[in-house]
Chain A
Amino acid sequence: MNTPSLTPPALPWGHISSKRGAAPHACDDVAWVRCGRTPRGAHVRLAVCDGATESTYAARWANCLARTLADTEEPLPAGFAAAVSRAREEMARELDALKSDAVQSKRPLTWYQESALDRDAHATALAADLVVSDDGATLSVVAVGDTNLFVVEGNTLVTAFPLTHTAHFGTSPLLVASGRSDTASHQHVVSQLRLPPDATMILATDAVAVWLLDQHEKGRPAWDEAVRLARASREEFQSWARAKQERTELRDDDLTLIALRVSHMGQMTSGSRPLSTTQPVRERPGVEGAHTPHDLATDEVAADRAPEMAAGDRAPQALTLLAAMVIALLFLSVGLVRIAPSVWAGNEPLRPVPARATPLEEAAYVHGYEQSAGQESAPCGLSPIADPTDVAEAWRDGCRDARSEP
């Protein structure tokens, strides 16, 4: 076995920012994340939703949908339908509570708030399951609409999903509706990828996604820039966005940019396969790079996936080691734990990682810092949107400690 080198951790960095002139909380973009372990390896579930501008309760629905997508235990893509169904029930409960509150507080809803209750709210949805094991890193993604995922290696695009060209973006993306009359969620698309050893996932809602693809199409790839911006301070990100918007290079929209570096040691254990290819599941005939709407009721992809995933189960010891490393790095990255050599060797039980989903905006800062470091209930590593510098320093400190230990 090779000596594992210390690599950057798998943790999401990013920003969610509202439109110009809007209050910071008036944002229809939402991201939730859940981390944990599965029998197949360390697991991260990310869900990003973009509420449709024309829905009054879009932000509420986007939050409900993203939270439920992140929280649903069943793996993707099969878990998508159940999550949407649960999100709808949750949304109905929330709106009922809203009406009750209005009655009880004797502050009736306005005519337009009441009218909007009779209409569905809509949002895009993108949910990704990342599983890292000794067999490499695999990604299962489900998408409805134009919230996009990019897998990059350095400054090179490996794959874009679900939309692959700027021309695919329009003003009427598919959306998941909060009501049962919805048909768009039945047209979700699915992709499964095996990630290269040093891949970065970038998740972006439409405005940022179309800018990134535009740069790529013009031969000026900005993937490095995206990762840098995801890790930059909120002020720097917003300053960048405002400058681009002033020059009309970036749409004035809610903005989400999340980057997740997925370093895994594909050659660390004997028998592991090089992980250098990505395999989008299907392509839509006649539309280059777009993916086929996938019917929930006949999810062939889930069935296709099983043998591949089983590879991780064949090497439980190596799996444990890899999972330990990834999760330890996750903790290290937010300064929650200092990694000891025994953890690297996998000889000690891992700290439990809560399976509860966490809103990306607040998770690291609120739960990572304001709760004391090292708490058993500490969540997985998340980028603190408020101040990534602290995290970077904590990570560097942790690296130094880990290196200096015998």
Chain B
Amino acid sequence: MNAKKTTKGLQASTELARADFRAAQRHESFRAFALSVPLLLFLVTTFVLPIGILLWRSIRSPEMDAVMPHLAESLRNWDGLGIPDENVFSALAGDIRSATQAGDLAQVGRRLNLYDAGFRSLLLKTSRRLAGEQSATWTKAITAIDPRWSDHETWRLMKRAAASLTPDYLLAAIDRQVGPDGHISVVASDQRLYLAALARTFWIGAIVTALCLLLGYPVAYLLATLPSRQSNQLMILVIVPFWTSLLVRTTAWYVLLQPNGIINGLIRTLKLMDAPLPLVFNRTGVLIGMTHVLLPFMILANYAVMRGISPLYQRAAVSLGAHPVVAFLRIYLPQTLPGIGAGAFLVFVLAIGYFITPALLGGSGDEMISQLISIQMERQLNWGLAGALSTYLVLFTLAFYFVFNRLVGVDRLRLG
């Protein structure tokens, strides 16, 4: 009886202790969460939200609704066959007038120029001619201004622009469009820009990654195996460029590589060649510059892994009769795979977003996708297309992230 009571009491107190422990744990994790709230908020407002908005822009088409609401409404109700009726024409006339007054007709022009370069001037011309017009039938008045208004194609594209969500930016970003028959087709050959640029971006990224690995791996090995005094001194040579501004390093390469620069000067003095080597304003310049800028990432990622590898295994393999090369390839190399993976991932992901280095050291045909995004963003104000191009870049980066996470594990990603 007594014993039973004691067991029960013990059980109860264990329960109590457990509950206490859980409460303490909850309290602890809540505190940890509370401490990370500022960072989370910061990340959401400065990172997640802007990227989200940009991606959202790639499928939105708000211009028609905002600037020409009546026209957008009546176009959505139009069956899309032939030429629309007087209702639509009178909505067009009214909306062009109010948009001209508000000064934002060109926003619609820019939206429609995605389909055909003539739209902006067509709208502005129509607006100028409509200024003093008082007409009973708008169809007649407007089609008299420009024959394009009696073309079914003009109206088909207007109707596409009137939809509030559109796939057209995402299609345009891979050189596709929706043709008159409703099927997706490739754009004219002299307008195919983006797919080639995406492929070029990945190709340059892959070569830069391979070059970084080739150059960085031995350096990381050296740093990891040298006595710490020497390795620390050598590490400075890796770290200082890492801390130096990207722009400074790129400009320095321009000075070194240009036709009358230091390298070509040396070649000329040594009479190795007659003509200067074309080292800059071409792919060679881009690869040299980007490899140099990204090399520290590869070295540090590999160094971090190599430092933790005991030299004993390799020594054991050699003492058991393996050739040093075989020991290296079969014992050491597999242990460094996480470092290689992490370095390659970092370098590749950074490389495909590169902008300044290819712009300054590249020539014709070295445009990377970020340069084209910037043209749409800053020069063309076509944020929809900029968003669509960015969407593909983000999707590809995420895809690489998942592949990397599967193969290596993202927890292995560390520098030093």
A binds B: no
Interface, chain B (partner A; CB < 8 A): none
